[in-house]
Amino acid sequence: MPLADDNTKRLYDDILVAIVSYVYEFEVRSDVAWRNAKVALLDALGCAIESLEISEECGLMLGPVWPGSGDVPNGFKLPGTRFQLDPIKGAFDMGAMIRYLDHNDAFPGSEWGHPSDNLGAILAVADCMSRASSSVPNATGPRATIQTVLIAMIKAYEIQGCFQIKNAFNKVGLDHTILVKIASTTVVSWMLGLTTQQALSALSHAWMDGHPLRVYRQSPNAGPRKGWAAGDACMRAVHLALLARAEQPGAPTVLTQPKWGFYDVMFKGQSFQLPRPFGTWVMENIIFKVNTAEGHGMTGVEAALLISQELRERNLSPEQDIAHIQVRTQAAGMTIINKQGPLHNAADRDHCMQYMIAVVLLKGTMIVTSDYQNDSEWANSTTVEQLRTKIDMVEDPAFTNDYHDQDKRKVANALLVTLKDGTKLPEVVVDYPLGHPKREDTVQAVKQKTCHNLGLRFSQGQVDDIIRTTEDREFLDMPVSKFVDMFTQ
């Protein structure tokens, strides 16, 4: 592919060239990646329906930005609603719905992120293309089929995940959704039939764009913006790709330009590390969030559930008999979900390990989405707050090392309970959460999660029809609009 901008004859930064070359040239051949992409597509749609059904505050953001503009010809039919939106607002809404309740898939590394966030941009654009057919100038682009959606997902996952392995945007105060914008901009450019030069331009704009501060994920400012940050990234990605299609030129040295480039301005003068070539590895190793717990705490809540069962077998109660709980966790867990003091909203609670553990111990069952909401019996429970004060977290360097080891990729937590009489219960260690690729029960568990979430808004017959459709051998050739129509009301 060309390496230089036609207008300036300047070479684009190597990483931009590598990203665009991968998206435009790499052929997906991995059976595991294809399988996981279909599972991820359904899982993300299920998460979107769950958000729509459970979160009123998410629902308030959806739909046209101005009254009367919610029925766009050839627009994106937002799943679970009656809205038909332009691709930019559609990308925001879809991305926000998928991400809002923190229940979609995840990928760990120096940066933790959620690659299915990218589906907001991918599905909105693909559906609009499918409905518009020949009226959209994308003659050089791929057909608007499910196969195209899955290819775009696999490649977006790979771009985001490979960056996450070694590049900690959180350490410079930036939110990981910058990578959603980068990945989505590139795959959407490919889907729209942009030339590689136009794709390079769009991608350079994504890097030079304003980038979100991580402040909305950290106490005391954690709030619902962390639920729609992915939608914002998807919206920006679609807009930038459309601007590049309109021949807006790029910035070839957007990363490396001394003083003004991304590295010097935003990344403390460091350059990115990409420890593996782009392929299909991330989709093959994605972690599905079967339980509604922040990713670094998923094994913690599983351990808490085992402890709650032992307490009941001993006729002990968490609130009366526990004196102290020590949690051994990874460094990322210490940074992201170790919280003391008041929790102000659902977004604050679902990023608090102590809250999640306390609720599981008191319920005696797994924590669910509704347990984080403001109207939950646990949200203002003095018993939860008292139990939280008894929980201390410490980093275990071995857990951190195993977390970053690309062969192990553990997300371990260990809980040690001390009773008021001084007795220590056997420490419970869980290395891999349900949903991890190393767990044999993952795919079936994700399917059950999907069916449950879709059943919140659709009949059992509709859910069965959706599942059967994805298992049909003709599914890959299905027009995207026909598939999306299965999720509209």
Q: Worst-scoring range by mean pLDDT, 87-91, 187-191, 211-215, 230-234?
A: 211-215
> 384: helix, coil or strand?
helix
8 A C-beta contact, residue 453 and residue 316:
no
Residue for token pair 């032992």: 310
pLDDT (0 to 100) of residue 432? 96
Instruction: Answer yes or no: is 438 within a domain.
Output: no
- Cα-atom radius of gyration of the chain, to the nearest Å? 22
**Nearest by Cα to 327 from 414, 198, 396, 242:** 414
Q: How far apart are CA 37 and CA 116, in angstroms?
A: 10
In a domain, 64, yes or no: yes
Nearest C-alpha neighbor of 82 from the set 96, 70, 93: 70
Average pLDDT over residues 395-416: 95
Domain identity same for 149 and 175: yes
pLDDT on residue 406: 86
- Clarify whether residues 275 and 301 are in a common domain: no
pLDDT at 9 over 70: no
Is there a single domain that holds both residue 247 and residue 353? Answer: no
**CATH number of the structural domain spanning residue 242:** 1.10.4100.10
Residue 435 belongs to some domain of the structure? no
Percentage of the chain exceeding pLDDT 70: 97
Looking at 260, 284, 308, the residue that finishes a domain is 284
Same domain, 299 and 276: no
320-365 pLDDT per residue, tens: 999 999 999 999 999 999 999 999 999 899 999 999 999 999 999 9
416 and 369 inside one domain: yes
Average pLDDT (462-473) is 96
Distance, CA of 287 to CA of 296 (rounded, Å): 11
CA distance 150 to 126: 11
2, 27, 321 from 197: Cα distances, Å: 7, 20, 66
The answer to whether residues 130 and 266 belong to one domain is yes
255 with 182, same domain?
yes
Q: Does a structural domain hold residue 478?
A: no
* Residue pair 76/84 in contact by the 8 Å Cβ criterion: yes
pLDDT number for residue 395: 98
Could you tell me the pLDDT band of residue 2, with boundaries at 50, 70 and 90?
A: very low
End-to-end CA distance of the chain: 44
Q: Which of 413, 430, 447 is the endpoint of a domain?
A: 430
382 & 274 share domain: no
Does the residue 452 lie in any domain?
Answer: no
CATH of the domain at 393: 3.30.1330.120
Asked, for residue 126, whether it belongs to a domain, the answer is: yes
- The last residue of one of the domains, among 430, 450, 471, is 430
Three-state SS at 4: strand
**pLDDT bracket for residue 219 (50, 70, 90):** confident
Give the span between the Cα atoms of 476 and 485, in whole angstroms.
Answer: 16
Shared-domain flag, residues 89 and 179: yes
The DSSP code for 13 is P
Cα 372 to Cα 349: distance, rounded to the nearest angstrom: 6
Indicate whether 45 belongs to any domain: yes
34 lies in which domain range? 14-284
pLDDT at 475 over 50: yes
Mean pLDDT to the nearest integer, 75-102: 97
Alpha-carbon gap, residue 307 to 305, rounded angstroms: 5
User: Is the domain of 279 the same as that of 300?
Assistant: no
β-pairing verdict for 322-329 and 391-395: parallel
Domain-located, residue 488: no
**186 & 313 share domain:** no
- Torsion on CA atoms 388, 312, 368, 56, rounded to nearest 10: -70
Distance CA 98, CA 91 (A): 11
Q: Is the pLDDT of residue 5 over 70?
A: no
Where does the pLDDT of residue 290 fall: very low under 50, low under 70, confident under 90, or very high at 90 and above? very high
Q: Are 74 and 479 in contact (CB under 8 A)?
A: no
Is there a single domain that holds both residue 261 and residue 325?
no
Domain count of the fold of the chain: 2
